[in-house]
Amino acid sequence: MDKAAKRELVGTLNTVFSDTSVVVVAHYAGLTVADMQRLRSQMRQAGATVKVAKNRIAKIALEGTDVASIGPLLKGPTLLAYSSDPVAAPKVAVDFAKTNDKLVILGGAMGTTALNADGVKALATMPSLDELRAKLVGLIQAPATKLAQLSTAPAAKLARVFGAYAKRDAA
């Protein structure tokens, strides 16, 4: 790789580290090509990305970013998983590591907060942004539905009472 390509890669990684909300670092030694493709596919479906870069280049790209705390984790064959959703990359990485023992999660960073492996696993158990949004919409809609039911219920009860009296008088 020539110097221009390295500079471009450092710039790209620096932009990624500046713009993403979470980065997960993991060792991938022993993963087959098929496993890596499956991991990349699962990450893509969740809205996350996996990148393998030389540790030295990644450390240079980390300088001046919020996630610079992951620098010491970059030793050996490491991959970087990142996403804008703070839960997507950790969730896929942890799920993949459960089924494939060759992927070892080392830690990561969420904004300026450094995470160890347990922190990444805890982050993976949280609901995603989309799930939280759905719950919030459900909570907002529920009172409106109940209010509509309450406003129509007295009229319906009154109609049933009048209907019962009408049937009683007719009989």
Angle ∠(64,48,61) on CA atoms, nearest 5: 20
First and final CA of the chain: distance in angstroms?
97
User: Is residue 64 located within the same domain as residue 103?
Assistant: yes
| Number of domains the chain is built from | 2
User: Is residue 10 located within the same domain as residue 43?
Assistant: yes
Q: Which CATH number does the domain housing residue 62 bear?
A: 3.30.70.1730
| Per-residue confidence (pLDDT) for residue 131, from 0 to 100 | 78
pTM equals 0.72
User: Is residue 62 located within the same domain as residue 106?
Assistant: yes
| Per-residue confidence (pLDDT) for residue 40, from 0 to 100 | 94
User: Is residue 115 located within the same domain as residue 48?
Assistant: yes
User: Is residue 15 located within the same domain as residue 59?
Assistant: yes
User: Is residue 44 located within the same domain as residue 118?
Assistant: yes
d(CA 92, CA 149): 41
User: Is residue 64 located within the same domain as residue 133?
Assistant: no
User: Is residue 137 located within the same domain as residue 116?
Assistant: no
User: What is the span of the domain harbouring residue 152?
Assistant: 128-171
| Per-residue confidence (pLDDT) for residue 148, from 0 to 100 | 65
| Per-residue confidence (pLDDT) for residue 129, from 0 to 100 | 74
pLDDT tens digit at each of 171 positions of the chain: 788 888 888 888 888 888 888 999 999 998 999 999 999 999 999 999 999 988 999 999 988 888 888 889 999 999 999 988 888 899 999 999 999 889 999 999 988 888 898 888 888 888 777 777 787 777 777 776 665 666 666 666 767 777 777 787 776
